[in-house]
Amino acid sequence: MKEKEFYIGYLPKAPKGIRKIIKWVTVLLLILVGATSFLMISSEKDFDNSTFEFGEYNSFEGIIMENPYPRILIERPGETGVHPKYSQYYLAQFGKFGGQKMVERLDGKSVNLQGSLIYRDDQTMIEIKDNSISHDHTSDTDRIPEFNSILPQENLGTHTLKGEIVDSKCFYGVMNPGNLKVHKACAINCIRGGIPPVFVVKDGNGNVGYYLLQDKNGNAVNDRVLDKVAEPVKIKGEVIKQGDLLILKADPASYTEL
């Protein structure tokens, strides 16, 4: 009767049969680990095409739009054709804060400022460099005419849209990914700090729409949407096209989680 092999730990080698089994098990485990790693990597989605030009400062000249969310209107050069005369860039300051304090009392005024660009698709934001805004205070009474005269508005009707509320600063490029539940806590803090909340909507063909959220009266909604951030949400509201910007006006209390 053949005796079974038995390995004693203090011996220099394991028996031949045990060594053979261990060798094949090790090879199979290595193949399994490699195949699993390959499948995990190949199934991962590429990072979205968003950019934050961190540490790179450009100069911008335009008109400040203070409410409901700070923006700078920059005149497009030459003939604009079908495009609006002005491009609109959201404004933020360093960290999780909107640009409200930095542009206070500059509504409708022409300014020069420096900042870093943050952009995704056709959406753009500027993180303003500290102490970089300059304005000729001798002309404080010379306010630019009402914005409606330089930013025509078009009412596109009432629509019901499904999507996700994101903080525009991170989603446009500061963080990647800058949405979904993995980013929820950060997005809430950013929106609480004044970053414009944007409603991101994707259709069946993968096309993406960006809607700046306002209440029915055109006011900011930051503190009223925090419980709906980074969740699938349905919003029924009035869609306004202001220049090249889409605005969704609705009472935040009417937002519905899906």
- Any idea where the domains of the chain sit in the sequence? 50-149, 153-257
Mean pLDDT is lowest, of 26-35, 131-140, 167-176, 226-235, for 131-140
What CATH architecture does domain 50-149 belong to? Beta Barrel (2.40)
| % the chain with pLDDT above 90 | 60
pLDDT digits (tens, 9 = 90+) for 203-223: 888 899 999 999 999 999 999
Residue with tokens 């990597």: 41
pLDDT digits (tens, 9 = 90+) for 8-63: 666 677 777 777 888 888 889 998 988 888 777 666 555 568 899 999 999 999 99
pLDDT-derived band at 91 (thresholds 50, 70, 90) equals very high
pTM value is 0.79
What's the confidence (pLDDT) of residue 160?
97
Q: Is the pLDDT of residue 138 over 70?
A: no
Q: How far apart are CA 105 and CA 110, in angstroms?
A: 12
Instruction: Give CATH for domain 153-257.
Output: 2.40.50
CATH fold match for the domains 50-149 and 153-257? yes
Q: Bigger pLDDT: 178 or 211?
A: 211
pLDDT digits (tens, 9 = 90+) for 143-164: 555 555 677 789 999 999 999 9
Residue with tokens 């199934």: 43
Asked whether 85 and 150 are in contact (CB, 8 A), the reply is: yes
Average pLDDT of the residues in 104-116: 93
What's the confidence (pLDDT) of residue 83?
79
What's the confidence (pLDDT) of residue 14?
73
The most confident of 21-25, 79-83, 132-136, 213-217, by mean pLDDT: 213-217
Beta strands in the chain (DSSP E): 50-52, 58-65, 71-75, 86-93, 97-98, 110-120, 123-128, 153-167, 197-202, 208-214, 232-242, 245-249, 256-257
What's the confidence (pLDDT) of residue 113?
96
What's the confidence (pLDDT) of residue 185?
95
Q: Write the DSSP string, 38-92.
A: HHHHHHSPPPPSEEE-TT--EEEEEEEE-SSS-EEEEEPSS--TTS-SEEEEEEE
Q: Bigger pLDDT: 137 or 16?
A: 16
- Mean of all residue pLDDT scores within the chain: 88
Cis-peptide into 68, omega within 30 deg:
yes
> What H or E segment, with its residue span, contains residue 169?
helix 168-169
Instruction: For residue 69, give both structure tokens.
Output: 């969310």
